[in-house]
């Protein structure tokens, strides 16, 4: 019997359910029992099932050692409800299960849940390998402004690469104009760069498998990364959405126990009442702090909580928590700091007669941190696993990733300062206002191969030069002498494009002779009519 690590991907919760079911059916010891003067073969008691399954869950890397015996009982109740097990009389569904000596057995039918088979990811957009952390800087390392500006111009006119920076372009200097970024453009950059890197960490073909991207608000990402205090905690523009004063006071009291306020009551059990007040408030919120919309995403990040992927899991949770509304992120930050300080406070009186302080923190607040909108079979166990990891690494996870902030701001700054050629002939001839050629933005929809990139580069460059040739032929502001000179230079630099425009020039005029460019008909002067009768 072996345990498998369920990696991130669609239907991960269902896969985990089937994995636990498979291990339980394959490994649970069965023997003959006697009950009410009758003998039952191949069965087990509820208590022995709790013992065996609890040990399995604690040693399983998908769940971890923070699973309690009570949570194991709750899972067995769900097994009974979903007909993974049945009592020895064949009853299941509406029956209840307790930690006692009642007898249960496995049904003959398979209890595994059906998992739809998604279409295999193919093409250049699929991601086959999860990157290492060392790829992070390379992924977000942008070229210098000057170099990027030069490459942008070379995409429009490859001749610039051959001429060098100090020489004049054979076609003359083109006017330039700076690109204006809209607010929507900047929002798209913040969202796309964040989600693209998150997808790379998870190693999945598309985030659509685990996240409804329509629910992602880029303003949340911007706020969570730029509006923080000196302690790294998010600040809110609207203070009415903050924690109530009495809740903040209670949390500070527990976090600084017993040095917060000497004027507080000191009756026995006071700290337990304060703790219950804080937990009651968080459970009264309309939804968990990690929100219902992001539940599936956080469940998939749990697939990275393995010994060799710990740093990747921290980075993935960093990005996931940036997607939260600022009010939820702030409450999560303050709650996790309180939980961490209470767990490390040796002076804190025992808050529960049976549970240790750390275990109590994890199991008390896991339900108000992570939960699904609909009933989920493993939500309690998965929430416990995630909150335990959050507590241990809350300082790193809930901080602003500076590499991401720098990459986004550098990219926006580049797009705001880059100079691009202006196609004056495409403008309105009456007004004469130049039309700016748009700078290609980053496209995060899919990756392309190197061959596709080179092909697109050649095609776009060729199209730009064809348009430039048409400008030289039709621009009325260019004298005939300059026109012929520039056409001669153009034919020398781009002979293939020139021959495509004048396919008969080689036969009729020779390799270096240019076709005669007739002036437009409207510019021909009218001549006086001649009559033979005169």
Per-residue pLDDT tens digits for 242-251: 999 999 999 9
Q: How far apart are CA 133 and CA 221, in angstroms?
A: 22
Four-residue CA torsion sign, 394, 396, 402, 404: negative
Q: How far apart are CA 363 and CA 448, in angstroms?
A: 46
For 376-460, list the strands marked E by DSSP.
Answer: 419-423, 435-436
* 61-79 average pLDDT score: 91
Q: How far apart are CA 36 and CA 49, in angstroms?
A: 20
Q: How far apart are CA 294 and CA 198, in angstroms?
A: 13
Q: How far apart are CA 471 and CA 426, in angstroms?
A: 9
Could you give the 3-state DSSP secondary structure of residue 344?
helix
Q: Quote the distance between the C-alpha of residue 416 and its chain's center.
A: 25
Phi, psi angles (nearest 5°) of residue 488:
-65, -40
- The C-alpha R_g of the chain, in whole angstroms, comes to 35
Predicted pLDDT at 534: 44
Per-residue pLDDT tens digits for 278-299: 999 999 999 999 999 999 999 9
* 48-72 average pLDDT score: 92
Q: How far apart are CA 293 and CA 290, in angstroms?
A: 8
Q: Quote the distance between the C-alpha of residue 311 and its chain's center.
A: 16
- The beta-carbon contacts of 447-455 under 8 Å, at least 24 apart in sequence, are 447/124, 447/125, 447/127, 448/124, 449/124, 452/124
Maximum Cα interatomic distance, the chain, rounded to a whole number of Å: 141
Show the tokens assigned to 271.
Answer: 């700290």
pLDDT for 376 beyond 90: no
Counting beta carbons within 10 angstroms of the beta carbon of residue 519, is it exposed (0 to 12), middle (13 to 18) or buried (19 or more)?
Answer: exposed
Q: How far apart are CA 453 and CA 451, in angstroms?
A: 5
Highest-confidence segment of 338-342, 414-418, 476-480: 338-342
DSSP 466-529: HHHHHHHHH-TTS-HHHHHHHHHHHHHH-HHHHHHHSTTHHHHT-SSPPPP-PPPGGGSPPPPP
Could you give the 3-state DSSP secondary structure of residue 436?
strand
Q: Measured between alpha carbons, how far is residue 286 from residues 290, 328, 364, 413 in Å?
A: 12, 11, 17, 39
Predicted pLDDT at 162: 47
Could you give the 3-state DSSP secondary structure of residue 527?
coil
Phi, psi angles (nearest 5°) of residue 58:
-65, -30
Q: Measured between alpha carbons, how far is residue 171 from residues 153, 157, 302 in Å?
A: 14, 10, 58
Predicted pLDDT at 73: 94
Where does the pLDDT of residue 497 fall: very low under 50, low under 70, confident under 90, or very high at 90 and above? confident
User: Residue 494's CB: how many other CB atoms inside 10 A?
Assistant: 21
Evaluate whether 336 touches 394 at the Cβ level (below 8 Å): yes
User: Mean pLDDT score of the chain, rounded to an integer?
Assistant: 79
Per-residue pLDDT tens digits for 120-164: 544 434 444 444 444 444 444 444 444 544 554 454 444 444 444
Predicted pLDDT at 153: 45
431: Cβ contacts below 8 Å, ≥ 6 apart: none
Predicted pLDDT at 173: 53
Cis bond before residue 258 (omega within 30° of 0):
yes
Evaluate whether 330 touches 234 at the Cβ level (below 8 Å): yes
Per-residue pLDDT tens digits for 236-275: 999 999 999 999 999 998 998 877 555 666 677 888 999 9
């Amino acid at each position: 019997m072996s345990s498998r690590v369920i990696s991130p991907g669609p239907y991960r919760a269902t896969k985990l359910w089937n994995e636990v079911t498979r291990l339980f059916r394959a490994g649970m010891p069965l023997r003959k029992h006697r009950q009410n003067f009758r003998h039952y073969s191949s069965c087990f008691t509820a208590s022995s099932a709790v013992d065996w399954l609890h040990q399995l869950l604690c040693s399983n890397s998908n769940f971890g050692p923070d699973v309690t015996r009570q949570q194991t009982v709750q899972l067995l109740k769900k097994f009974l409800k979903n007909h993974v097990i049945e009592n020895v009389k064949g009853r299941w569904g509406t029956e209840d299960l307790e930690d006692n000596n009642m007898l249960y057995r496995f049904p003959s039918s398979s209890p595994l849940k059906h998992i739809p088979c998604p279409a295999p990811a193919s093409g250049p957009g699929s991601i086959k390998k999860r990157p290492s952390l060392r790829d992070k800087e390379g992924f977000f390392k942008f070229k210098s402004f000057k170099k990027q500006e030069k490459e942008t111009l070379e995409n429009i006119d490859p001749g610039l690469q051959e001429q060098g920076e100090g020489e004049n372009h054979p076609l003359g200097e083109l006017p330039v104009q700076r690109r204006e970024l809209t607010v929507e453009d900047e929002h798209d950059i913040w969202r796309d760069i964040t989600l693209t890197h998150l997808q790379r960490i998870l190693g999945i073909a598309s985030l659509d498998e685990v996240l409804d991207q329509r629910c992602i608000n880029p303003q949340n990402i911007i706020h969570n990364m730029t509006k923080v205090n000196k302690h790294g905690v998010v600040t809110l523009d609207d203070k009415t959405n903050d924690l109530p004063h009495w809740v903040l006071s209670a949390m500070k009291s527990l976090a600084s126990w017993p040095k917060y306020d000497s004027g507080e009551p000191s009756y026995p059990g006071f700290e337990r009442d304060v703790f219950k007040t804080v937990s009651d408030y968080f459970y009264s919120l309309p939804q968990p702090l990690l929100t219902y919309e992001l539940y599936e995403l956080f469940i998939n990040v749990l697939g990275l909580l393995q010994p060799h992927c710990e740093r990747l899991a921290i980075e993935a949770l960093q990005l996931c928590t940036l997607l939260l509304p600022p009010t939820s992120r702030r409450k999560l930050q303050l709650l996790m700091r309180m939980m961490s300080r209470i767990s490390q406070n040796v002076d804190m009186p025992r808050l529960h007669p049976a549970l240790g302080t750390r275990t109590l923190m994890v199991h008390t607040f896991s339900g108000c941190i992570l939960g699904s909108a609909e009933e989920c079979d493993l939500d309690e166990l998965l929430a416990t696993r995630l909150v335990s990891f959050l507590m241990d690494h809350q300082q790193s996870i809930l901080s602003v990733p500076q590499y991401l902030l720098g990459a986004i701001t550098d990219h926006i700054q580049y797009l705001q300062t880059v100079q691009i050629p202006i196609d004056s002939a495409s403008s309105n001839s009456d007004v004469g206002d130049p039309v700016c050629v748009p700078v290609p933005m980053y496209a995060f929809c899919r990756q392309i191969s190197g061959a596709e990139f080179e092909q697109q580069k050649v095609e776009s460059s060729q199209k730009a030069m064809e348009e430039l040739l048409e400008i030289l032929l039709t621009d009325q502001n260019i004298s005939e002498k300059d026109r012929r000179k520039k056409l001669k230079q153009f034919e020398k630099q781009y002979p293939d494009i020139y021959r495509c425009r004048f396919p008969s020039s080689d036969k009729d005029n020779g390799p270096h002779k240019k076709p005669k460019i007739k002036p437009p008909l409207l510019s021909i002067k009218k001549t006086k009519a001649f009559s033979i009768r005169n």
